[in-house]
Chains A and B, each alone.
Chain A
Amino acid sequence: MASRKFDVRRYPGFAQLTVLCLLILYVPLLVVAVYSFNASASIIVFEGFSWRWYVDVFVGSDSAKFKEAAWNSFFIAIIAATVATTIATLAATGMVRGGFFRGRTLSFGLISLPLMVPEIVTAVATLIFFNSIAFERGIMTILLAHIAFCIPFAYLPIAARMQGIEDTYEQAAQDLYATKRQAFTKILLPLMMPGIISGYLLAFIISLDDFIITNFVKGAGVETLPTAIFGAVKQGIRPNIMAISTMLLGFSIVMVTISYFVSKRGDHK
């Protein structure tokens, strides 16, 4: 007589597959993190907990290389994210609050172009571009390339948030004698702040984590964190690489979480 309740939404096995999916996504990262705390130099056997590899990242033989790479990465990420977010904010204002115009779909296509083109194609194209105008490869080229492909990542959350804000607020402001610019800076911008912050953090992480495009346009003398890690991995995975990977991982996760909560909190207004 005991029969299971009939629920049209439930399918047997789907819950298990979801758990499997999450395991697949997270276990490798956890394993790397765990081994980064390995007391021994082995990457095979775990012999106890230790911070030594983290220390090694900062003071060991590769530390100078990593430090410079990290400095480059953060420098580029901050600037690229700032510029990209500014451009994206302006563009979003134009797209979402600019009324209908014929080139609108085209504009959106252009903005999301970096997302649709395979990264390697963008990398090659950008390299060729700099080569053709004889622009020397280095930090500047990396920076310019990053700005370009960070724009769509900043744009999407900003535009989404702006669409969620009714324009009645700005209209009310104008009714109360504010100019359009004041309506923008005093009303729209503050309301959009969570979206802007969210977009900024996303752009920041995308820039920080990028490998392929950076690898192509960086030239010989410059390394960013991902390219430095890649180069080191090519010589074999050592625990200090796992330590620095884990740090980068942790940092990215923290940034994404902050970005998520910032945008969520904004929703509660």
Chain B
Amino acid sequence: MAGGAASGGSGAASETYKEARTLLLMPAWLTLIILVLSPVMLMLVYSFLTKEFRGGVIWDFTFAAYDQFFCDRGLFGDEGCTLEWTYITIFWRSIWQAGLATLLSLAIGFPTAYFIATRPANVRPLWVFLITIPYWVNLLIRTISMRFMMREEGPINNLLVGTGIIGEPLQMINTNFAVQVGLFYSYLPFMVLPIYAAVERYNFTLSEAAADLYASKWITLRRVLLPTVKPGVIAGCILVFVPSLGAFLAPDLLGGAKNFMIGSLIEEQFKGNAGNWPFGAAASMILLTMVLIMLMIYARQQSRANRGEA
């Protein structure tokens, strides 16, 4: 998924099957509208319903879910609305975690993408393949393997204690750090691929021109290369940030009880009998809105860039 390049548009507008077009697209449209679009609409509706005790909803419209999210009405629920920080904190922490994971991915992903893009052309696909495989491998298993590695009696600690670097095993699991690493590990390939695509298209004569004009390599990176590949970098950041924001497995398996993120909060609402479906729907809606706003900003920036630097 290389940024805006795969916009589904072909070069010469090929019209071979123009008449059959509606028929061809109908199955996809139907499936996606029924199974994706309308469920999301429904979710919006559900967020305004009343919760049923054993899960599910009662079709009574109310603002209760959103109220619970934003308002603190005291112990008995009868005071005025003061800002409820509990859930906002969870959202805020998720943003912060996702942001940090994104930065971490960028720090390692950018040099990696750059390096691969500057390999000889015949070897490049192999590198890309190596980076992509972990992405296709089950996220659950990868998270489990992270958990396995970071346990108190896990291999990392064994190595550190065994070689005498530290005296006692580090508490890595069930920390913010573990979640961070888990998120970074989960979505790293997403950071690498768009940046790789952008650097591959970069014209290195520009770097030569910069060097010719007395710029050192690092200044060239900062002032010439980065601005030119910026769209790829931003695409990579979004591809890591958005899934990280709504992640469930990393906080659940690696963070334990103390590291509740949005994903965990939402999941909790739908499991078992203590759940609150409307609340879960409301939280999901809030998450979705945040993501859509970010995507719209990105799309607008893309189109502005396409117009400005044609």
Contacts and interface: CB of A to CB of B under 8 A. Distances in A.
Is A–B contact present in the complex under a CB 8 A cutoff? yes
A180 interface: yes
A29 B108 contact: no
A156 B137 contact: no
B37 to A, nearest CB: 7
Contacts of B253: 233
Interface in B261-291: 262-263, 266-267, 270, 277, 280-281, 284, 287-288, 291
A9 B15 contact: no
B27 A91 contact: yes
A118 B37 contact: no
A223 interface: no
Contact of A147 (B10, B31, B118, B267): B31
Nearest to B153: A44
Contacts of A120: 246-248, 262-263, 266-267, 284, 287
B42 A125 contact: yes
> How big is chain A's contact interface, by range?
35 or more
Contacts of A116: 242, 291, 295
Nearest to B33: A110
Interface residues of B, number: 102
A128 B16 contact: no
B8 A229 contact: no
A249 interface: yes
Interface in A15-34: 15, 17-18, 20-22, 24-29, 31-32
A211 B140 CA distance: 7
Interface string B226-269: 00000000000000001101111100010000000011001100
Interface stretch (B69-77, B80-88, B204-212): B204-212
A10 interface: yes
A183 interface: yes
A147 B25 CA distance: 16
A2 interface: no
A177 interface: no
A22 B131 contact: yes
A159 B9 CA distance: 10
Nearest to A131: B56
B133 A256 contact: yes
Interface in B129-182: 129-134, 136-142, 144-149, 151, 153, 155, 158
Contacts of A96: 8, 10, 14
B21 A99 contact: yes
B111 A14 contact: yes
Contacts of B300: none
B16 A180 contact: yes
A132 interface: yes
B109 A21 contact: yes
Given A8-B207, A148-B32, A13 B140 contact: no
B288 A26 contact: no
A98 interface: yes
A11 B217 contact: yes
Give the one of A17, A31, A128, A155 with max B CB within 10 A.
A128
A175 to B, nearest CB: 12
Nearest to B15: A99
B46 interface: yes
Contact of B17 (A94, A107, A114, A257): A94
Interface string A148-189: 110100011001100100010011000000001001100000
A140 interface: no
A20 to B, nearest CB: 7
Interface string A116-132: 11111110111111011
A94 B35 contact: no
A10 B118 contact: yes
Contacts of A129: 35, 38-39, 42
A253 B133 contact: yes
B116 interface: yes
Contacts of B288: 117-118, 121
Interface string A207-223: 01101100010000000
Nearest to A111: B28
B86 to A, nearest CB: 19
A241 B140 CA distance: 12
Interface string A91-115: 1011111111100110110110111
23 contacts: A9-B207, A14-B112, A18-B112, A21-B108, A28-B142, A29-B134, A32-B144, A94-B17, A94-B22, A95-B25, A97-B16, A110-B29, A120-B267, A121-B287, A125-B43, A128-B277, A129-B39, A147-B31, A159-B8, A160-B6, A180-B20, A226-B138, A242-B148
Q: Which 4 A-B pairs have the closest CB atoms?
A: A118-B246, A94-B24, A99-B15, A129-B39
